[in-house]
Amino acid sequence: MCPAIAVNAPVGVMDSGVGGLTVLKHLTRQLPHEHFIYYADSAYAPYGNQSAIKIQQRCFAIADTLIAQGAKALVVACNTATAAAISPLREHFPLPIIGMEPAVKPAAAASKNSIIGVLATTGTLQSAQFAALLEHYGHGVQVVTQACVGLVECIEQGQLDNPHTIALLETYCQPLMAAGADTIVLGCTHYPFVRAHIQNIVGPQVTLIDTGAAVAKRLQQVLAEKNLLHPVKDPFLGNAQDEPSELKPVFLTSGSEETQRVMQQLWQILGTI
């Protein structure tokens, strides 16, 4: 255990914007006794078309903010930020840091015809991390990638059902369908917000995969290894500090009041799916 870190300290979760809320929902379900502070860097979103250096600068600034809030661990709930910044973050900060990666491995295992599609940002698809994923897990399968330019911006504005958003999804899904993909990776944490539209476009025979649940399990494992799991209430001793139902995530953002409104809107939507 890290002696300077309290087990009841919060876990910091960062993303380029609101997309990481889909990961946060998995985290709160997997670890209902933990406190979470979520930071949406919406003033600088999207990360997908920015340089690695710029993304690293933003990730370091956000990490400083979350650690100043007492974070005992960090979750980089953004595929692009993980690809650009996870290694320097781990080298610089002495606390556990969990990252994301597109679910190429489980998609390859799930595919029945060995054709998988990947929807992601340009930054993720061009990263060395993604190339390494293909090298390790892409053998024996055909991987069809599609950069979804402009989609993050639509979701950042809460335009989940907007005709323009749906038109973008149709455009980006078409090459994957044409290639015969039977499994599609949602390679950006924003995309699960429009999962229903994607499923409607590609059909029920296509399996959609994201990594939120796997990240939540990984965080639980790491916190347990470090003896940093928040204690669960003993109903007989009455020694818990918080009931799970009382634990509301704290939402921070570099964006505007509108970002705060969209975050609250999307968080409520996640509670219904």
Helix axes 21-30 and 212-225, enclosed angle (nearest 10): 50
Catalytic residue (one of 59, 154, 173, 188) = 188
Which one, of 117, 109, 171, lies nearest residue 142 by Cα? 117
C-alpha 201/C-alpha 20 separation (Å) is 23
* Count of all residues that appear for the chain in the document: 273
Is 78 an active-site residue?
Answer: yes
Contact 229/223 with Cβ under 8 angstroms?
yes
Q: Is 49 annotated as a binding residue?
A: no
Location of structure tokens 């990252």: 99
Confirm or deny that 80 is annotated as ligand binding: yes
Compute CA distances 90 → 5, 36, 75, 97, whole Å. 17, 20, 11, 6
Annotated active-site residue 188? The verdict is: yes
Instruction: Give me the residue label for tokens 């928040």.
Output: 230
CA pair distance 101, 110, nearest whole angstrom: 17
What gap in Å lies between CA 39 and CA 13, rounded to an integer?
6
Joined together, the tokens standing for residue 20 give 């990481």
**Which of 2, 59, 78, 173 does the annotation list as catalytic?**
78
16 marked as part of a ligand binding site = yes
Place of tokens 């799970």: 244
The reply to whether 190 sits in an annotated binding site is yes
Other C-beta atoms lying within 10 Å of the C-beta of residue 94 = 11
The Cα–Cα gap between 17 and 77 comes to: 10
Positions marked active-site = 78, 188
Specify binding-site residues for substrate.
15-16, 47-48, 79-80, 189-190
